[in-house]
Structure 1
Amino acid sequence: MESNLQTAPEEQYSPAVRPLTVPDHSEGAASSAGAEDGSARRAGRWALPAWLKDRQNLSRAVFWIGPFASYCGVELMNTNNPFTDLNIGQIFFNLLWYSLIYWVMRMVTGRRNLSAGISAVFCFVIGLLNHYVLAFRGRVIFPVDLLCLQTAANVASDYDYTPDRTVWSALAILLVYLVLLFLVPRHRGRNRLRLRTCLLSWGVIGAFLFAFFCTGLLPTVGIYAQQWRTQQNGWLLNFMTSLSYSFVRAPEGYDLDRVNEIAQRYPGTAVVDGAEYPVNLIVVMNESFADLGGFDKLELSEDPLPYYHSLTENTIKGTMYSPVTGGGTANVEFEYLTGDSLAFLPSSTVAYQLYLYDNCPSLVSQAKALGYHTIAFHPYYSSGWNRTFVYDWLGFDEQLYDEDVQNPAYIRKYISDSNDYEQLYRMTDESEEPTFIFNVTIQNHSGYQQGWNNLERTVELSGDSQGKSPVAAQFFSLMRESDNAIRELIEHYSASDERTMIVFFGDHQPPLENSFYEYLYGKKLGERTTEEAMVQHETPFFIWANYDIPESKDVRISSNYLGTLTAQAAGFPLTGYQQLHAALMEQFYVTTTIGFRTADGLVTEEEAELTEEQQALYDDYRIMAYNHLFDDDNHPEGFYS
């Protein structure tokens, strides 16, 4: 589909590059023995096909090798075998996207070899970036990550970038291809495509993009954005598929009559005169705090969380199911503070970056309406996850970050949990009004190959687990430090005269190596059942008070309901939305991004396996969550506040 240029004489090619020599088997060739000569026959075995003897055809062939080479290199770095780990449809769509990159660059530059070289390097670079995100976060790059570059830059120096075998293999593929491009002939000037070729190309590209992004093509061929098996599509296809799912549409059956009808069925409770709430309501979302006790194969030298496990008095405790694993802290914040579920949003999007708005009703605005001074505290950079805007929108009166920490003390390079909690003591001691604090800690942030600065090596892998992870020992030693800090936190407020309630939960499990999790499961991550996959989403939680509250243990709950449980435990009047959550919790202990855990013991990722009553209730939730987040001009009066 290129211009019918005549084969140029030798002088038209760059004198700095020797064209690839093509054996000449014409009648006039210097070979006295002719075609019957034995040596000529042996040479003929290595001769190029006749159509490749034309230098333009040879150049075209090398150009189209590029998309395949890039696909192989990127998938090697994506820890996929490019030939066996993906099905034919996935391979086809991946190659289609790589070919699109090469062809668009060809049309833009007008130079075949140059465009192929630029495309090959570009694909290698994005594949390398994805490789390190996968290694450090346990998931591939998604479109929303492009909006989170500042957050990534904040922690980029904490990781080890030593190339592994897959990186060297992909680099070898790139270098071989670039050498091949260097050897084939190329024009000295631009080699423009014909206008009709360009117009036809853009028409085909436009039709493909429309079909990919605006029709049901992907589900028809069985391709979906992968959320917890993120390598399954191949990186480029999964990235583009996720992009196509980044546009949120109203759920089926959504209209304002249905919204108002649901709101009427779940009226909020009234404020009770003289009701006594906690003077201090402190919520601690602890970075990467996890027990990993759900993995039977894990053997440790000692319990990393003895104090947490001993808590019983005036305590509600159990397991929280996070919508994410290995990263994505802001999405857990979103679920806890708003009561919305990440399951209703396009996979791996970050609501803080895309969907929040000013005056969004939340647990924060609820506390503020009850007379609390509301504080958000995160002892790290303020630039992460768009927090400075979102916290204002959610109703926080005050925001504090690393620069606000007094007498900072560090474990590794992060503010320690113990030092973090000292700031909480100061905030509540200095406050003259009821105080609601939402604290996101930083001590246990990933990058567990860092040195042991101010961190004692206390908990080791033992037994059969010994040697299965080079970084897990640092993580479990961090858990021991967190456990010690929890003891200090509880002891401090146990001695306080002010009614204090503490809500504590881990945001997600740590991004330990995939190979370590595969050891714990005894299988590849892509082979897990829904129930097994949920284990990697489990984190501990507790609600404790320095006054009498009903006690319970072994509670299972997902983070989108935990805000409602907080309001119930604190004695707040419930909003209509929280009343809906309460009804949901009677049917579903867990509704999260990878499935359901129902009160009758069912664990499934398929809505079709739910009872009709459960499906109807879940549909109500889906409709009201959409109304809450995307149709704020039509909120039912008083339903969310």
Structure 2
Amino acid sequence: MAVLIVVVPVLSYYLMELMTHNPFEIPFQLQLLGWLFCYLLTGLLFFFTGRMNLALILMQLFIAVLGTVNYFVLQFRQSPILPWDIASAGTALSVADHFSFQFTARLGGILFAWLIMLLLSVKVSVRMKGQWKKRAAGLGLTAALSVLYVLCLQSDSIMNALDVYEMPFTQDYTYEQNGFFVSFLVNTKYLKVDKPEEYSPERAEEILENADNDSSEKSGSEETGNEEAGNRAASGSSSSAAVSARPLSRSFSSSFVSRDEDMPNIIVVMNEAFSDLSVIGDFQASEDYMPFFRSLYGSENTISGNVFVSVLGGNTANTEFEFLTGDTMAFLPTGSIPYQQFISDELPALPELLREYGYTTTALHPYNSNGWRRDSVYPLLGFDDFLYNGTFHYQKRLRGYITDEAAFQEIIRTYEEKDEEGPFFSFLVTMQNHGGYAKEWNGFERTITVSGREDDELSRINAYLTLLKVTDDAFRDLISYYEAVDEKTIILMFGDHQPNVETGFLEELYGKDYDELTPEELALRYQTPFVLWANYDIEEAENVDISANYLSTLLMDAAGLPKSAYQNFLSELREKLPVITANFAIDADGNFYSSSEYDQLADVLEDYEIIQYYHLFDNEHRKNEIFLSSD
């Protein structure tokens, strides 16, 4: 049975890869690296336990479980397991019961083959009983080889020599090209955030001071300059073939309110999976799924357009992070979650800035308070209060989640109970439209369907469209309430990311297979709509393209509130680069850059990266007042 020692690790590698793709399409040298991982793992277990049969069994169980979990994770979010997912496992498990997972005959056959191998492995009789010194030496040597193996996969020169495919934008395809173990270990190099080459605290402060001075000079010139230099949206439109940027020119400066004036109440709704998939391609639905939201496009006292985000189908907290802080995921490790990895001390952000202006700051999320560590992070960002599912007064539910209607009612309740002496800032992250669209729920009927298709063929997209209409109705009621409120109020609603729906449906919209999409076409999956509405006179704009990191700066402009030095810097940067995400950027001329081409934007991005490092990581030297002062 000694042949099993050689064969079982190799077969385990192929069985795991076979769960999600054809492993024989992986370049052979990378297949060998996959074999080596399984051999090293077996060796570590053998020298640790002293029994080869136990080592083979444990190795197979580990890889089988890992492969099965990865199979279901791909179904859940269309992206494989990544190194940083370990930190967010609890959040994922909390919503897992809302999803419908498909157990296929192929998966069953693979697991059955593994069961046979496990039974055969029991008969392997190689042992090192009592040979402690040899086992310790073997364990040390195998551990050293394992470390060397991982370090080699961190080397760019070795990866290039082995032709390792690396495209963080499309992790599912990366794993298909390299295999699971190679891709996973290559990704670990992104766990570390390197200090920018030209970084120093003094340099960051100098950049921010210059941005503040430039803003003051520009503000003065705009007040006496041509009124036609006001806020306009450049002409152009998105198509299903590519994305284009229509930046909103920076003005609003003459409309700043003083701290002695009435500052507007500000309500921000980051709506779960709220998007319009027709940006990818036209399709007919049985009825309009967002009629009220669309009616606000181009309407009075409204700014509308598209938000480009860094995530797809999940990792909501990253869009939230970009909006609240002004930082971008473009400078952070692929797939990282700043709430979980980088924020453990007070961080000056939008809530704290507004609190400095006298706002009461309340965060609301109708689900578990500890998801993405919000209960720990929100106070560090400047929120006075955090309401979650257990503290909501309104508990109406749909598919097990508190509805948007109930969440909006909770906003109104907190507004009506607020301190009358100061303005009100409310930030809501909704849950109603969360994934799990294929699952059947009592009390939920798919009332909107894609025309010409059977419901069971597109159950996920039909459920999703129905949920959007429920949100649209609730948002109409929220706007109606504040139309009748005397206090100045601004409401901003945008989507955190697009949903995971049937790949076949998306391919119909694109008119081609998903794996044939260009980066420009795939970028359409990272686009959600936004509307900023006020119950008083503000400058209107439509067709505005903007990324999430700039959106709070736009909000400050629309509200006429003085911006921090950091926000002034972001306003200037947005004129040159209106879209910057973890995956792509679009400059003011509409030129598209994938993340692998960011070196071409070095002159534009260098200062931003320096400031972000200073803001997010250099707690020892950071002067918080720079990010909070409007002087």
> Could you say which TM-score interval applies, normalised by the shorter chain?
0.7 to 0.9
Deviation at 1:344, TM superposition (A): 0.6
Q: Determine helix, strand or coil for the equivalent of 1:317.
A: strand
Unaligned runs of 5+ in 2: 217-255
Aligned counterpart in structure 2 of residue 423 of structure 1, from 401, 405, 410:
410
Matched with 1:39 is: none
The one-letter code sitting in structure 1 at the alignment partner of 2:47 is: M
Structure 2 residue 13 is matched with structure 1 residue 71: yes
Q: For the Cα contact (< 8 Å) 1:588–1:598, is it kept in 2?
A: yes
Can you list the C-alpha shifts for 1:555-584, whole angstroms capped at 9, x where unaligned?
111111111111111111111111111112
Q: 1:564 to 1:513 in 2, by over 3 A?
A: same
CA distance in 2, matches of 1:490, 1:202: 61
Structure 2 residue 471 is matched with structure 1 residue 530: no
Can you list the C-alpha shifts for 1:570-612, whole angstroms capped at 9, x where unaligned?
111111111111112111121111111111111121575887x
Deviation at 1:420, TM superposition (A): 0.8
Matched with 1:167 is: 107
Matched with 1:303 is: 288
CA distance in 2, matches of 1:354, 1:566: 27
Q: For the Cα contact (< 8 Å) 1:455–1:478, is it kept in 2?
A: no
Structure 2 residue 446 is matched with structure 1 residue 457: yes
The one-letter code sitting in structure 1 at the alignment partner of 2:556 is: A
Deviation at 1:635, TM superposition (A): 2.4
Q: CA RMSD in A?
A: 2.5
CA distance in 1, matches of 2:152, 2:361: 47
Aligned counterpart in structure 2 of residue 586 of structure 1, from 562, 567, 575:
575
Matched with 1:384 is: 371
Can you list the C-alpha shifts for 1:414-456, whole angstroms capped at 9, x where unaligned?
1111111011111111112311111001100111123344434
Deviation at 1:275, TM superposition (A): 6.1
Q: 1:112 to 1:600 in 2, by over 3 A?
A: same
Can you list the C-alpha shifts for 1:213-262, whole angstroms capped at 9, x where unaligned?
47764466445363433342333322222222101111222223432331
Q: For the Cα contact (< 8 Å) 2:50–2:128, is it kept in 1?
A: no
Deviation at 1:279, TM superposition (A): 3.5
Aligned counterpart in structure 2 of residue 206 of structure 1, from 147, 157, 164:
147
Q: For the Cα contact (< 8 Å) 2:77–2:313, is it kept in 1?
A: yes
Q: For the Cα contact (< 8 Å) 2:33–2:182, is it kept in 1?
A: yes
Deviation at 1:551, TM superposition (A): 0.9
The one-letter code sitting in structure 2 at the alignment partner of 1:306 is: P
CA distance in 2, matches of 1:245, 1:609: 16
Matched with 1:117 is: 57
Q: 1:405 to 1:260 in 2, by over 3 A?
A: closer
Structure 2 residue 225 is matched with structure 1 residue 240: no
- The percentage of counterpart residues that share the same residue type is 35
Aligned counterpart in structure 2 of residue 631 of structure 1, from 607, 618, 624:
618
Matched with 2:83 is: 143
The one-letter code sitting in structure 1 at the alignment partner of 2:18 is: L
Matched with 2:222 is: none
Matched with 2:194 is: 249
Deviation at 1:511, TM superposition (A): 1.7
Deviation at 1:63, TM superposition (A): 1.7
Matched with 1:18 is: none
Aligned counterpart in structure 2 of residue 287 of structure 1, from 272, 287, 295:
272
CA distance in 1, matches of 2:598, 2:149: 35
Aligned counterpart in structure 2 of residue 486 of structure 1, from 462, 475, 488:
475
Q: 1:98-497 to 2 correspondence within 5 Å?
A: 98-183=38-123, 197-213=138-154, 217-218=158-159, 221=162, 222-224=164-166, 226-233=168-175, 234-267=179-212, 273=258, 276=261, 278-296=263-281, 298-311=283-296, 312-432=299-419, 433-463=422-452, 468-497=457-486
Q: 1:76 to 1:451 in 2, by over 3 A?
A: same
Q: Determine helix, strand or coil for the equivalent of 1:230.
A: helix
Q: 1:622 to 1:353 in 2, by over 3 A?
A: same
Deviation at 1:372, TM superposition (A): 0.3
Q: 1:129 to 1:274 in 2, by over 3 A?
A: closer
The one-letter code sitting in structure 2 at the alignment partner of 1:558 is: S
The one-letter code sitting in structure 1 at the alignment partner of 2:144 is: G
State the structure with more CA Rg. Answer: 1
TM-score normalized with structure 2 length = 0.86
Q: Determine helix, strand or coil for the equivalent of 1:632.
A: coil
Q: Determine helix, strand or coil for the equivalent of 1:228.
A: helix
Structure 2 residue 592 is matched with structure 1 residue 603: yes
Q: 1:116 to 1:298 in 2, by over 3 A?
A: farther
Q: 1:170 to 1:465 in 2, by over 3 A?
A: same
Q: For the Cα contact (< 8 Å) 2:75–2:101, is it kept in 1?
A: no
Q: 1:12-23 to 2 correspondence within 5 Å?
A: none
Matched with 1:6 is: none
Matched with 2:606 is: 619
CA distance in 2, matches of 1:93, 1:225: 19
Deviation at 1:118, TM superposition (A): 1.1
Q: For the Cα contact (< 8 Å) 2:264–2:423, is it kept in 1?
A: yes
Deviation at 1:514, TM superposition (A): 3.5
Deviation at 1:185, TM superposition (A): 5.0
**More helix, by proportion:** 2
The one-letter code sitting in structure 1 at the alignment partner of 2:275 is: A
Deviation at 1:140, TM superposition (A): 1.3
Q: For the Cα contact (< 8 Å) 1:281–1:501, is it kept in 2?
A: yes
CA distance in 1, matches of 2:435, 2:262: 36
Deviation at 1:330, TM superposition (A): 0.6
CA distance in 1, matches of 2:330, 2:279: 23
Q: For the Cα contact (< 8 Å) 1:62–1:181, is it kept in 2?
A: yes
TM-score normalized with structure 1 length = 0.85
CA distance in 1, matches of 2:97, 2:137: 49
Larger deviation, residues 205-214 vs 548-557 = 205-214
CA distance in 1, matches of 2:315, 2:180: 19
CA distance in 2, matches of 1:489, 1:198: 64
Can you list the C-alpha shifts for 1:367-403, whole angstroms capped at 9, x where unaligned?
1000000001001111200001100100100010011
Q: Determine helix, strand or coil for the equivalent of 2:304.
A: strand
The one-letter code sitting in structure 1 at the alignment partner of 2:538 is: I
Q: Determine helix, strand or coil for the equivalent of 2:626.
A: coil
Greater relative CO, 1 or 2 (CA 8 Å, sep 6+): 2
Residue correspondences, number: 579
Unaligned runs of 5+ in 1: 1-57
